Amino acid sequence: MANQQLFLGIDCGTQGTKALILDALSGQVLGQGAAAHSMISGANGRREQDTQQWLDAFTQATHQALAAAGVDGQAILGIGVSGQQHGLVLLDDQGQVLRPAKLWCDTETTPENDRLLTHLGGEDGSLERLGVVIAPGYTVSKLLWTREQHPQLFERIASVLLPHDFLNFWLTGRHSSEYGDASGPGYFNVRTRQWDVPLLQHIDPSGRLQAALPELIEAHQPVGRILPAIAQHLGITPDAVVASGGGDNMMGAIGTGNIQPGVITMSLGSSGTVYAYAAEPTVSPQPSVATFCSSSGGWLPLICTMNLTTATGAIRELLDLDIDAFNALVVQAPIGAEGVSMLPFLNGERVPALPHATGSLLGLTTTNLTRANLCRAVVEGTTFGLRYGLDLLRANGLKAQSIRLIGGGSKSPVWRQIVADIMDTTVICTEQSEAAALGAAIQAAWCHSGQQDGLAELCERCVKLDPASETRPVAAHVAASQQAYERYRQHVATL
């Protein structure tokens, strides 16, 4: 049909791959698909994935989305790929994957990261040189780890790619990276938007890593056309353009219309993220704030907490509650959970910066130890971490009128109210909760259009807010929440 412009958006995450078909003319999502990934875990913090799973899931999710949309794959004009950030994919000179991809949540390389941080002159040195403080999840320590743990394999490295770069390579045969995702590995200067080659030479003086870097491209530039064999395999036309793509947070920003100052995106997923668009690279003096580049031509100051629905899920499992029963108990307990505080640092924590912390319950008495207070305390505790991060962003000049909420937790009206009250800001959900996949599809339409300034108009048409989800802070709640937050801050200060 001539009155449709169809694009495929893909989000390759930790738990699975999502696909959606967007009609960029009407702004409607016509169909979706999903397929799961599994994790390779080790006791030493190893978190890896077999990249073939991503390709299988990509294919399965795409076939599902096309079927659900009832459209012919020959009509797809372009593809955009969102990927989990910081993962390391290594290829040899034949384009073959050398070992499973080490992921953002892998902490096995903490000792290597510590040594690299010392080399950079600590957190301040890293901030000054790169504009970010390298953390164990970033790609750079994974390279040093590979050189030391797998020296023979290291000798065969011909290409160093992030997850979304690897998927673009599979689609097009081209090695490229877009500035947003490229600003996450820890060997990229976010102010000058260039690779930090001397840091890679410090890891390996031979120059191998420098030679293995992908070519940097702008967010509005396509990588190229899809390879005919892959097009046939996916059931789409070989004329489809593959967009630059980006990291999941950068694509989530586009998918929530967060492409100019004034909007905050907050994601309530297995981890929690808060980010906002900035026109200039104003690097925060706070090590917890990562001033990444955006995938819309600007910057995206961002904080990420490690524990969100992982922590609420742990309490639900402990008390054997389904989501409705859990939410009902949260509502039963008063704000501040009668003095019960949970520091939900089950995986250590990034914001506040407590990598070696564990979770704890504080303030328990014979009268307040109830299921309702435990449920309330875990939701408040995880949300306080996001408030802590939002305060850091606000201290760095962020001004915002509203918060756009995405991720699994955003579907809960109870949680939305708690977020609004703790942040003292109106909260609204986007209609499409798969914001990263939507952002990838919107970016594909942008790359296909060839108009460098056309993104705002596309977001206007394709990003829809859900008016029924709008939640305003309640003054009495705000005051009580502030008291509970101050108690949380005191507990954190003692760690």
DSSP track, 274-308? EEE-BSS----SSTT-EEEEPTTSSEEEEEEES-S
- Packing angle between helix 163-172 and helix 51-69, nearest 10 degrees? 70
CA-closest candidate to residue 456, choices 468, 465, 446, 441: 446
Distance, in Å, from the CA atom of 89 to the CA atom of 305, rounded to the nearest integer, reads 24
CA distances from 495 to 50, 354, 356, 483, 491 (A): 37, 8, 10, 19, 7
CA distances from 125 to 117, 128, 142, 301, 398 (A): 8, 5, 20, 19, 24
Which of 165, 196, 248, 421 is labelled catalytic? 248
Strands (E), 50-119: 76-83, 89-91, 101-102
Q: What is the maximal distance between C-alpha atoms in the chain? A: 69
Residue 363: half-sphere exposure toward Cβ, Cα within 13 Å: 18
CA distances from 131 to 178, 190, 191, 228, 285 (A): 17, 6, 7, 40, 9
**Those residues with Cβ within 8 angstroms of residue 490's Cβ, 6 or more apart along the chain or in another chain:** none
Q: Phi/psi class of residue 407: alpha, beta or left (left: φ > 0; alpha: ψ in -120 to 50)? A: left
Instruction: Assess contact for 29 and 8: CB atoms under 8 A.
Output: no
Q: Which two tokens stand for residue 200?
A: 């890679």
Instruction: Assess contact for 45 and 348: CB atoms under 8 A.
Output: no
| Residue 453 annotated among the catalytic residues of the structure | no
CA-closest candidate to residue 240, choices 91, 66, 84: 66
Distance, in Å, from the CA atom of 172 to the CA atom of 165, rounded to the nearest integer, reads 10
CA-closest candidate to residue 15, choices 31, 39, 42: 39
Q: Which two tokens stand for residue 97?
A: 């994957």
Q: Which two tokens stand for residue 225?
A: 């056309």
Distance, in Å, from the CA atom of 273 to the CA atom of 252, rounded to the nearest integer, reads 10
Q: Which positions are annotated as active-site residues?
A: 248
